[in-house]
Chain A
Amino acid sequence: MLARLASPRTGGLLALAAVIALLPLALANKYFYDIAILVGLNAIVCIGLNLLIGYAGQISLGHAGFFGLGAYGSAILASRYGWPPLAALLSTTFAVAVLAYLVGRPILRLKGHYLAMATLGLGIIIFMVITTEDKYTGGPDGMSVVPFSIAGFVLQGERVWYWVVGVLLLVAVWLALNLIESPAGRALRALHSSEVGAEVVGINAAKHKLMVFVISAVFASVAGSLGAHYSGFVTPGKAAFLHSIELVTMVVFGGMASTFGAVVGAAVLTTLPQLLAAFEDYEMMVFGAVMMGTMIFLPRGVVPSLARLFRSRRKPTVGDDKEAGG
């Protein structure tokens, strides 16, 4: 029993739950709650994106597009057409999943740089559509969104949203850990390392890539929908290329092929710009510097590097110079 509690899986989940439960003690005002909620939403996107990039080894430079689609889908259905927010969220999520499936089928045949370019193009198309279809989206000015409500209960205020996002974050981590430790998750890691090696033991590589692409799009879309309802306003910036880059940076910084790494990456890189508010104009430069510094000094990312340091102190010989899944 104790051994199970100390395993990275259960132990990590308990530690994250403890952090989420205790964090309000340190959150002095609404502003801090606001940052914590943004961290949670970004972390949910990054957990999905990490399944795609870190585990399956498929790059996406267009995930802000799925985030934006989630946000605008919920905003348009709930605010313009008066749908119940939950129905709007579920239908939007389903539509994004279908879109990711249809787009993923052709573009996931591409590898490396070509896949990066294709997903980049996808993100830009989504951004352009959102900016130009101003009849529905309000164009570059954005649009306001009604608060989220379920059966007459309205989710309002930072404290309520904090717990909602906190629980959803835990669920997202749990789902990702489950997937990774399943045959499908092993198949993803296997095809990352050797596609032909995976195929000859019976793994349909194309099907698994498509599956994880759809899952990661769904994570991004749900976070986008919730973010829109929480902030009460959406702008096309959420779907923009720079946001995609921020998300990839969070995943790489936190550590690829590490679910908790994705959470840490999202936490650090969401909080950092707030702390550096004085340098607002240079925010992207800071991101760029973090990306370069990570690649040079911590190519594994923060969490896998720390985990390795911790392990090598206890057992100096086992797997010292290991790439943690690249």
Chain B
Amino acid sequence: MSLLRVEGLAKKFGGVSAVEELSFDIPAGKVYSIIGPNGAGKTTLLNLLTGVYQPSAGRIVFDGHDLTGRAPYEYASHGIARTFQNLQVFFNMSALENVMVGRYLQEHCGLLSALLRFPRLARAERACREQAAELMRYVGLQDYLSTASDAMPYGALKRLEIARALATEPKMMLLDEPAAGLNPTEALELDDLIGRLTERGVTVVLVEHNMRLVMGVSDHILVLDYGRKLAEGPALAVRNDPKVIEAYLGSNAAHEGALAGEIASAVAVAVEMRR
């Protein structure tokens, strides 16, 4: 059963097409990864799927609702949450408050109730604080419960964004390069966290360059190149797809049937060269 359906999606910046004629379905309850070289349009696609960009053409249907052209907060209210490649942490607040902001959809109330602080709101606030603390422990941030967010290390901030996104009680969570900038140990812990997200019933959409992580956790993979779909399918099929290997390594390597581990290191090189 598909949770998200994308039909003929396109995005142009001026005359440049970042995403072209893209159609795919994301099944519920799975880990769906989007990979591709730098500039392939992965982050543009995430921005389209969360309403941050408006598509030039195409439709986005989530959980039976056509969300094409809606604002980001409407995507959120339908159950799509995300993290950012370049962090969008609220640095003027404590870590806990960042997660509490994520509870906005569940907690927000009328202006009068907020100004006069009705007892019901005061109780809800205490509950909200506890739920936020619980989520911080869930993502492994129990040591930062009373820390200001701008005093936290980079790896912890990435988890903080995941906790904030989880606080919205999403059906689908989009992770934009969660492993970027993490050390190998932290990246390993991410596998476990993503696994637990799906156990919670959250569909995970992962954009990532770290092939070890992608191959380890993905059920489905979509490969983008120049804003177009290069390949799509179950993880195992995609990693042995000659077209994919060719895109990453050039045509010779395709015949040699490179293993996933080799792809990972080659991807890193290919990515560097494209830069």
Interface residues of chain A, those whose CB is within 8 Å of chain B, are 175, 178-179, 181-187, 189-190, 192-194, 196-205, 211, 257, 318-319, 322-326
Main secondary structure of the interface of B (DSSP, over half): helix
Tell me, rounded to whole Å, the shortest Cβ–Cβ distance linking A140 to chain B: 37
- Does any Cβ of A come within 8 Å of B220's Cβ? no
Tell me, rounded to whole Å, the shortest Cβ–Cβ distance linking B244 to chain A: 30
Given contacts A200-B75, A200-B81, A322-B148, contact A187 B101 (CB under 8 A): yes
Name the A residues within 8 Å of B84 (CB-CB): 196-197
Interface residues of chain B, those whose CB is within 8 Å of chain A, are 50-52, 71-73, 75-77, 81-82, 84, 88-93, 97, 100-105, 107-109, 111, 113-117, 121, 125, 128, 146-148, 150-151, 164-165, 167-168
Distance A203 CA – B106 CA, assembled complex (angstroms) = 11
Distance A175 CA – B75 CA, assembled complex (angstroms) = 32
Name the A residues within 8 Å of B71 (CB-CB): 199, 204
A325 touches B125 (CB 8 A): no
B92 touches A179 (CB 8 A): no
24 example contacts (A-B, Cβ-Cβ < 8 A) are as follows A175-B116, A179-B114, A182-B113, A183-B108, A184-B109, A187-B104, A189-B92, A190-B90, A196-B84, A197-B88, A199-B51, A199-B72, A200-B82, A200-B165, A201-B76, A201-B102, A201-B168, A202-B77, A202-B105, A211-B111, A322-B148, A324-B92, A325-B93, A326-B92
Distance A323 CA – B91 CA, assembled complex (angstroms) = 9
Distance A140 CA – B31 CA, assembled complex (angstroms) = 70
Name the A residues within 8 Å of B108 (CB-CB): 183-184, 187
Name the B residues within 8 Å of A211 (CB-CB): 111
Tell me, rounded to whole Å, the shortest Cβ–Cβ distance linking A322 to chain B: 5
Name the A residues within 8 Å of B81 (CB-CB): 200-201
B117 touches A178 (CB 8 A): yes
A202 touches B111 (CB 8 A): no
Q: Which of B102, B117, B148 contacts A182 (CB 8 A)?
A: B117
Given contacts A181-B125, A186-B101, contact A202 B150 (CB under 8 A): no
Tell me, rounded to whole Å, the shortest Cβ–Cβ distance linking B174 to chain A: 9
Name the B residues within 8 Å of A323 (CB-CB): 91-92, 150
Distance A190 CA – B81 CA, assembled complex (angstroms) = 16
Nearest chain B residue, comparing its CB with the CB of A211: B111
Q: Which of A185, A202, A318, A325 contacts B92 (CB 8 A)?
A: A325
Name the B residues within 8 Å of A324 (CB-CB): 92
Tell me, rounded to whole Å, the shortest Cβ–Cβ distance linking B87 to chain A: 9
Name the B residues within 8 Å of A202 (CB-CB): 73, 76-77, 104-105, 168
Chain B CB within 10 Å, residue with most, of A189, A201, A205: A201
Given contacts A201-B102, A202-B105, A202-B168, contact A189 B90 (CB under 8 A): yes
Given contacts A196-B88, A323-B92, A325-B92, contact A201 B104 (CB under 8 A): yes
A198 touches B111 (CB 8 A): no
Q: Which of A184, A189, A194, A197 contacts B114 (CB 8 A)?
A: A184
Distance A101 CA – B49 CA, assembled complex (angstroms) = 31
Q: Which of B89, B146, B148 contacts A194 (CB 8 A)?
A: B89
Tell me, rounded to whole Å, the shortest Cβ–Cβ distance linking B127 to chain A: 12
Distance A199 CA – B102 CA, assembled complex (angstroms) = 10
B93 touches A190 (CB 8 A): yes
Tell me, rounded to whole Å, the shortest Cβ–Cβ distance linking A299 to chain B: 14
A199 touches B76 (CB 8 A): yes
Nearest chain A residue, comparing its CB with the CB of B83: A200
Nearest chain B residue, comparing its CB with the CB of A176: B115
Distance A173 CA – B178 CA, assembled complex (angstroms) = 41
Tell me, rounded to whole Å, the shortest Cβ–Cβ distance linking B133 to chain A: 15
B104 touches A322 (CB 8 A): no
Q: Which of B50, B121, B125, B148 contacts A200 (CB 8 A)?
A: B50
Nearest chain B residue, comparing its CB with the CB of A57: B92
Name the A residues within 8 Å of B90 (CB-CB): 189-190, 193-194, 197-198
